[in-house]
Amino acid sequence: MSNPFGNRTSDLLDISGLTVALPLGGRHRTVLSDVSLRVGAGEAVGLVGESGSGKSMTARSIVRLLPAGAHTEGSIRLGGADVAALRGPALRDLRRRVPMVFQDPRAHINPVRTIGDFLTEALRAHSRTPRRAGQERAVRMLEEVGVADGRRRLRQYPHELSGGLLQRVMIAAALLTEPHLLLADEPTTALDVTTQAEVMAILDELRRERGLAMLFITHDLELAAAVCDRTAVMYAGRVMEVRASDLLHQHPLHPYTAALTAARPCLDRRAERLVTTAGRPLSAFEAPDGCPFATRCAHVRQRCHDTRPGLRPLAGGQVACVRAEELHQERAVPHE
């Protein structure tokens, strides 16, 4: 079987058939359903979806950061090793190699410890780097992420830094441990607009320089298209479509992707009003038996309710929609 996911042969991350159920309200509820995704070495993959679609949960599964009592099925392989089998030091080593940049740095950095503590503690815990050497490296790394006056910053506390600076600190901390794969969970969502662009540019640049693979989680399809080689769209705990970012963004195959593209306000297209998708996004455990998007889809047919579509190869990527070919043909002929 040929590899329909991409043209890389050496996959750094290989998630296949990942299903996760969390204990909620006394019973286990599915939050991820049959998620399959690959990230090659040095590749940036975007993971796009609305809140609750399971993008963060996917990232957390990779480093086994799920809430207690979570049930997991399927496999996650990182550099060939089965993540589920890792214990103790091996698991900690994995986590060090796959750092996570979180959405809200204010909440995710310990408020009562200094920036210096935060930057160097992982170094000191793992490689027993002496304090001084760790601080030297931290200062150099701060410079790389555009934080000047690093020596002073190391002595400061998180509440003395702006959100943008704090997120740069978080990125610096992630890069300090010489990672293989960066998990970026909406790293710019909590920042204001001008800072967003700066932080994104730094993240993108440093990643490319290092040839670092990245799983980039965002709800912004356009942003994903700008920084990622490929993009996966998630809905209700499932992957709906995976394709090269520009293709996916410009010629969406799945009606849900198309709806996401249309929902974004655009400067070069005058619109009477913003296009919205009726209904609210569903969680995996609320989704109906057939296609989870069927209840909100503009192109719905009876068979959408009857069978749940799996990911199928189409047009250089994968899509989970029974009418994908049909709609693909239709879209080729513009008709609005």
Partner 1 sequence: MAAYLMRRALMLAATLLVSSFVVFAGLSLAPGNPLATLSGGRSLPPESVAVLVQRYHLNEPFLVQYVTWLGNAVRGDLGVSIILRQDVSDLISSRSGTTIALILYAALIVLVGGVALGLLAALRPGIVDAIVVMSTALVVAVPPFVAAIVLIGVFAVRLRWLPALGNGTGLWEGMRHLTLPALALAAAATAAVARVTRTTVRQEMGREHVQTAISRGLPYPAVVRRHALRNAAVPISTLAGMTVASMIALAAVVERAFSLNGLGAYLVSAALSKDFAVVQGISLVLVTAFVLVNTLVDVGAALLDPRIKLGGRA
Residue 65 binds to partner 1 (criterion: CB under 8 A):
yes
Which strands form 181-185's sheet, in the order they lie side by side? 100-101, 181-185, 213-218, 44-48, 230-235, 238-244, 317-319, 312-314
For position 81 contacting partner 1 by CB under 8 A, the verdict is: no
Regarding 133 and contact with partner 1 (CB under 8 A), the answer is no
Q: Does 180 bind partner 1 (CB under 8 A)?
A: no
Q: Where are the beta strands (DSSP E) in the chain?
A: 11-24, 27-40, 44-48, 71-78, 81-82, 100-101, 181-185, 213-218, 230-235, 238-244, 312-314, 317-319
112 near partner 1 (CB under 8 A)? yes
Tell me: does residue 111 bind partner 1 (CB under 8 A).
yes
Based on the shown chain and the rule CB under 8 A, indicate whether residue 178 belongs to the binding site for partner 1.
no
Q: What is the DSSP letter of 270?
A: -
Cβ at position 94, least distance to partner 1 in Å: 7
For the bound state, the minimum distance from the C-beta of residue 326 to partner 1, rounded and expressed in Å, comes to: 43
Is there binding between residue 55 and partner 1 (CB under 8 A)?
no
Give the integer Cα–Cα distance in Å for 65 and 197: 28
In angstroms, give the least distance from the CB of 80 to partner 1: 19
Alpha-carbon gap, residue 40 to 242, rounded angstroms: 14
Query: Could you give the CA distance from residue 134 to residue 271 in angstroms, rounded to a whole number?
Result: 53
Whose Cβ is closer to partner 1: residue 160's or residue 326's?
160
Q: Residue count at the site for partner 1 (CB under 8 A)?
A: 28
Distance CA 61, CA 84 (A): 9
190 binds partner 1 (CB under 8 A): no
Contacts (Cβ under 8 Å, ≥6 apart) of 255: 293, 297, 298, 299, 321, 323, 327
With CB under 8 A as the contact rule, the residue among 16, 51, 110, 162 that binds partner 1 is: 110
Does 109 interact with partner 1 (rule: CB under 8 A)?
yes
Q: In this chain, which of 63, 215, 227, 253 binds partner 1, going by CB under 8 A? A: 63
Task: Name the residues that contact partner 1, by CB under 8 A.
Answer: 63, 65, 91-96, 99-100, 102, 104, 107-113, 117, 121-122, 125-126, 157, 159, 173, 177
